[in-house]
Amino acid sequence: MRHVWNGLKLIFKSPALWPAAMAPMAVACLAYILILLLGFWALVPRMAEFATQFGLPEAIGWFTGSTLFAIVWIFISGPLFLVAFCTVSIFAWDKLSKAVELNINGTAPAERLTLGSLAADIFIRVTVATTIGLTIALLGWLGFGLVGGLLAGWMMLYDLTAATYARRGLSVLGQTTVVHRCKGWIGFWLTGAFVSVVPGLNVLFLPVFVTGATLMVIESERKTSPSPAHPVE
């Protein structure tokens, strides 16, 4: 929670970070709205047609379809969307993550994954995201979205630190040995789990979580390196 809060403060007080956040943020918002509209179009009118086939008023079909869609959207769609979008965060949020490091430390690591490591990293992330996505689709509604949120938050922990660790030459396999050493990773995971099931907020807070994830990695490195010239509040 602390890292997310620090990320929110840093985003608001550092206009230099905004350009790096705007493009992926716009893409995420457009994708979210498009999925919302397509989902509504795919479900609700067909429920109305289904109701009329049984001699029921069309309004009942619209009401039933809208209710089902609202349930799906609130408890499942948010975590599903985050799992899918965060999978490409190693590309989408690299500029913002790097800008945060430059803002805090004045420099950022320049190491990169090899092409083979990058391909393997993407394959693993997509495979895991697909598995978790299917699990959320089937079980995400349990506990009023708790299961879906916890799974999405877990993916966010890995995927929103991906760009920061990639600049250190670490792929997703390397992350498994270091990300859980970061102080506050459980709070980050649980905060992501909560926000992931809040429609709209789950998308708007993506830059905040990327910033917070970067701050978390930077803080973990301070344990074995001198304090940066620009400390985080």
Contacting residues for 124 by C-beta, under 8 A, at least 6 apart: 171, 172, 173
Q: What pLDDT is stored for residue 230 in this prediction?
A: 45
- Please check whether residue 169 is in contact with residue 111, taking contact to mean a CB–CB distance below 8 angstroms: yes
- Measured CA to CA, the distance from residue 161 to residue 8 in angstroms comes to 16
Residue 48 lies in a domain: no
- Please check whether residue 104 is in contact with residue 232, taking contact to mean a CB–CB distance below 8 angstroms: yes
Residue 233 lies in a domain: no
- Measured CA to CA, the distance from residue 220 to residue 175 in angstroms comes to 13
Q: What are phi and psi of 189, to 5 degrees?
A: -60, -50
pLDDT lower than 50: segments of the chain: 227-233
Q: Concatenate the DSSP letters of all residues of 139-207 into one string.
A: HTTHHHHHHHHHHHHHHHHHHTTHHHHHTTT--HHHHTTTGGGSTTHHHHHHHHHHHHTSTTHHHHTHH
Q: What pLDDT is stored for residue 233 in this prediction?
A: 42
For residues 209-225, one letter each, b for 16 or more C-beta atoms within 10 angstroms of the residue's C-beta and e for the rest, the string is bbbbbbbbbbbbeeeee
Q: How far is CA 158 from CA 188, 204, 212, in A?
A: 11, 19, 13
Residue 35 lies in a domain: no
Q: Supply the pTM of this predicted model.
A: 0.84
Residue 229 lies in a domain: no
Residue 90 belongs to domain spanning: 2-29+75-221
What is the count of structural domains for the chain? 1
Q: What are phi and psi of 77, to 5 degrees?
A: -65, -40
Q: Tens of pLDDT along 168-215?
A: 989 888 888 899 999 999 999 999 999 988 888 888 899 999 999 999
Residue 61 lies in a domain: no
**DSSP class of 228:** P
Closest CA to 173 of 164, 162, 183, 186: 162
Q: Which amino acid is at 177?
A: T
Residue 69 lies in a domain: no
- Measured CA to CA, the distance from residue 96 to residue 77 in angstroms comes to 25
Residue 209 lies in a domain: yes
- Measured CA to CA, the distance from residue 97 to residue 208 in angstroms comes to 10
Residue 43 lies in a domain: no
